[in-house]
Amino acid sequence: MREAELEESYVRSGGHGGQNVNKVATCVVLLHRPSGLRVKCQQARQQGWNRVRARELLAEKLEARKAAQLAADRARIEKLRRQKRGRSAGAKRRMLEDKARHAAKKSIRRRVDLD
């Protein structure tokens, strides 16, 4: 994450902090332009601390998004690998036994010719 990719703005905080948060724009809003992620931090009464914490939060969010994308890619590749894998000998044998059993059931139901 580079500083050039970030857009930083300041707004007034709310909640605890008294007169300081009501008068001074201590809340920091960071926007990461390439990903569109937005982070808002108003944990501290000082703007400098909120700036640092906002960058930490944004870095954590970006890492989490990257990890989720990697996990999704791995899952997709693993699914394709399982789909392409051939059946085991036992699975083939069971499938053929089931087909033979089903064919035997159907042959019993056939119409009988009286000729």
SS (H, E, C) 50-97: HHHHHHHHHHHHHHHHHHHHHHHHHHHHHHHHHHHCCCCHHHHHHHHH
- What pTM was estimated for this model as a whole? 0.67
Distance, CA of 10 to CA of 26 (rounded, Å): 7
* Span 27-83, pLDDT tens digits: 999 999 999 999 999 888 888 999 999 999 999 999 999 999 999 999 999 999 999
Run of H or E including 98: helix 89-108
Identify the pLDDT of residue 105. Answer: 94
Are 7 and 33 spatial neighbours (Cβ–Cβ below 8 Å)? yes
| Mean pLDDT, the chain, whole residue set | 90
Identify the pLDDT of residue 95. Answer: 96
**Band (25; pLDDT cuts 50, 70, 90):** confident
Domains in the chain with CATH codes: 3-84 (3.30.160.20)
